[in-house]
Amino acid sequence: MPDVDPSKLIVILTQFLGKETLTVDIILLVVILFCIIMSAFFSATETVMSSSSVLRLHTLADEKVKGARKAIALAENFDKTVTAILIGNNIVNIGASTISGYIFARVVPNASVAGIISTAVMT
């Protein structure tokens, strides 16, 4: 594969798409990346909350481990905690999928194909 100079690639994309469009696309890609990172955070938090032991958390609190008391409060309100986590995860996943659909709809001429590609990429 030939070496590609990133500055030349940016110049080509700018000429092809226009400077404003390229800037908007970069911002949208950064937002998608942020949404994916936040989705991973919410998923990891849900896993931790589901697998944590309240007895173990009380032991950690007795040992004065930082954050143990807050973790106990969250674990004792498990339903509310998991509900908040799932709502946050849904918001960032819907946001990422919506932005992805918008980007693919602009790039792929056929709307049905754009929807399928967007769904496949974001799933």
51: left (phi over 0), alpha (psi -120 to 50) or beta: alpha
107 found inside a domain: yes
20 found inside a domain: no
Domains in the chain, number = 1
Alpha carbon distances (Å) from 24 to 28, 33, 59, 61, 117: 6, 14, 50, 48, 20
pTM for the model: 0.75
42 found inside a domain: yes
What torsion do the CA atoms of 41, 89, 120, 101 make, to the nearest 10 degrees? Answer: -120
19 found inside a domain: no
Residue range(s) defining the domain that contains residue 111: 28-122
Q: How does pLDDT run along the chain (123 residues), one tens digit per residue? A: 456 566 666 666 666 666 666 677 888 999 999 999 999 999 999 999 999 888 999 999 999 999 999 999 999 999 999 999 999 999 999 999 999 998 888 888 888 898 899 889 888
Nearest Cα neighbor of 105 from 94, 93, 117 is 117
